[in-house]
A and B are shown apart, each in its own frame.
Chain A
């Protein structure tokens, strides 16, 4: 029997699906070329027209975002500037299909080269537009996909998603792709399970597969035991989700009626586009590492990113964490190579070592603060001195902005509780506005088990009594001294850990947006 093969990716839309794999990247039908350049031009014009009418028919059945995407595709196809290079190539002897493909590939390359996520993601739309016309040229109106199939390929076109009948189940598994793509947005809205970033498998992926888009995996050639376990997880997920949806719209409370604040964790400003602000109590953690991708972001880029989230949240709080690079999150030109990066120059340690970069972020935060209810926290604080130095930099930059007459506001400054020294002696941090427990890092440091090492994963449990005792003592310290304490690690959204966290005294959790409903449902079960 072949060894079971499991690919790990990133969850883009939670859920479970089992079924045959459908290869999205299989070669398409062959185009029969015409006798003359004039006829090639007619064929291309006809194919573009056919693609436009197919899309127009789909617009009528679509709504909201789907209709907007289709209208964008129609507008692009109807623009002569898109097809002009293809018609010119036909004039110089190329057949219609090749001419169109080359013209669109050039356009796609332009989008892929963009330094902005949004425009890079539009390359998928352009590929979609390209393939619609190629299909029309070969009269292949979209090939038959078995009901309930798992669509598998490098990436998937939005129209391909909309053409697919999802009523019989099915899902999407992409080798590349992005959780920020149009398709991911549509998949979440329609509840279609989707995993991206699976990478290239060691052998050809085909046949019956299990797609676990709750944990971001796909199992190829599963054994009967695997199938049985998968179906158990799947029905438990469906039951949890069905029950949970009823809780989403309501404020969270335990069985005894104790109110619990539930905020969301976000990584990209665009994450908030998919969240109804009325279903959460604010943003408990906005990561800022995303801004520090290929290039270090300037002040304006950061300011606009922060402002977008603040404006979305309205009066609800938004807690932005200053850049937490280092550890398992290297940033070229910023982080340093270390033998033991989790214990090295990461988080606030790195920011305080690179003041030029830190000051830019501080200015962007101070300026954005006027647009909402901003709180700022520092990651990886180990000593009061680090907090005081960071706070002093905020005061310096505030004075500089005031001197220049730039609109700004000083947000409350808090710290992450993830280094055990803080959890053990929180009283050393006089003047801190709030504590936010980073349970992932706190657990790995207490248990001395790296979070990126599968071999010690069994040690990394937030429910170990040592970790829970520290969480409980920080919560108690906060309550006695009037310092708000929240938790923003993965444990906050884990239904199995939520009872222990509430019992430890926490009343403020921040979870991934997809876990919001489930977390509220789990809180309602807690007797406290």
Chain B
């Protein structure tokens, strides 16, 4: 039986899961073998977290509680790593807001 993992995390980035964070998010998701999906609500719809087209299409604004789930090899690590990326505000923080 393959591993599964699931978590939720609040998006605090100024404009939500937008272009630049989505690039980082999907790049990180693709480093895991597990299938990873995101949703804006517990009951879906679920989007492939490795596809930037799908992640952008989710249009998650700031303040969204993002649901992340994974199944397969390294599912737990994948969810943890992605939650951590969102929690770190995609490593942008206030610095970026000032230079953008």
Contact = CB atoms under 8 A, between A and B. Distances in A.
Contacts of B52: 72, 75-76, 79
B51 interface: yes
Given A273-B97, A274-B100, A107 B53 contact: yes
Nearest to A125: B19
B19 A81 contact: no
A288 to B, nearest CB: 17
A225 B76 CA distance: 72
Interface stretch (A116-124, A252-260, A489-497, A499-507): A116-124
Contacts of B54: 81
Contacts of A101: none
B99 interface: yes
A189 to B, nearest CB: 9
A43 interface: no
A277 B100 CA distance: 12
Most A C-beta atoms less than 10 A away, residue of B19, B26, B48: B19
A71 B23 contact: yes
Interface stretch (B10-18, B36-44, B66-74, B77-85): B10-18
A118 B51 contact: no
A81 B48 contact: yes
Given A68-B19, A72-B20, A116-B59, A79 B53 contact: yes
B1 interface: no
Given A75-B26, A79-B52, A110-B57, A312 B16 contact: no
A130 to B, nearest CB: 13
Contacts of A76: 52-53, 56
Interface in B1-47: 14-16, 18-20, 22-23, 26-27
Contacts of B59: 114, 116, 119
B62 interface: yes
Contacts of A71: 20, 23
Could you say which interface size class chain A belongs to?
35 or more
Contacts of B53: 76, 79, 81-82, 107
Interface string A102-120: 0000010010001010110
B100 A75 contact: no
A75 B97 contact: no
A58 interface: no
Contacts of A277: 98
B62 A304 contact: yes
Given A69-B19, A272-B97, A273-B100, A308 B14 contact: yes
A68 B99 CA distance: 13
B15 A118 contact: yes
Nearest to A305: B62
Contacts of A276: 98
Contacts of A185: 100
Contacts of A304: 61-63
- Identify whether the interface residues of A are mostly helix, strand, loop, or mixed: helix
Most B C-beta atoms less than 10 A away, residue of A71, A81, A311: A81
A273 B13 CA distance: 13
A64 B99 contact: yes
A270 B94 CA distance: 13
Given A277-B98, A311-B94, A270 B15 contact: yes
Contacts of A118: 15-16, 18, 61
A276 B97 CA distance: 9
Nearest to B50: A79
A388 interface: no
Given A79-B53, A125-B19, A116 B98 contact: no
A213 to B, nearest CB: 21
A81 B55 CA distance: 11
A139 interface: no
Contacts of A315: none
A300 interface: yes
B63 A75 contact: no
Contacts of B23: 68, 71-72, 75
Contact of B100 (A65, A82, A122, A303): A65
Interface string A457-479: 00000000000000000000000
B61 A81 contact: no
A270 B18 CA distance: 13
A381 to B, nearest CB: 32
A68 B20 contact: yes
A127 to B, nearest CB: 14
Nearest to A185: B100
Nearest to A74: B23
A433 B18 CA distance: 39
Contacts of B62: 304, 308
17 contacts: A68-B23, A71-B20, A72-B23, A72-B52, A75-B23, A76-B52, A76-B56, A79-B26, A79-B52, A82-B53, A118-B16, A119-B18, A119-B59, A301-B63, A304-B61, A304-B63, A308-B62
Interface of A: 64-65, 68-69, 71-72, 75-76, 79-82, 107, 110, 114, 116, 118-119, 122, 125, 185, 269-270, 272-274, 276-277, 300-301, 303-304, 308, 311-312
Q: 5 smallest A-B Cβ distances: which pairs?
A: A81-B53, A72-B19, A273-B100, A81-B51, A118-B15
Interface of B: 14-16, 18-20, 22-23, 26-27, 48, 51-54, 56-57, 59, 61-63, 94, 97-100
Given A79-B51, A119-B56, 13 more contacts: A72-B20, A75-B22, A75-B23, A76-B56, A118-B16, A185-B100, A270-B14, A273-B14, A273-B100, A303-B63, A304-B62, A304-B63, A312-B94
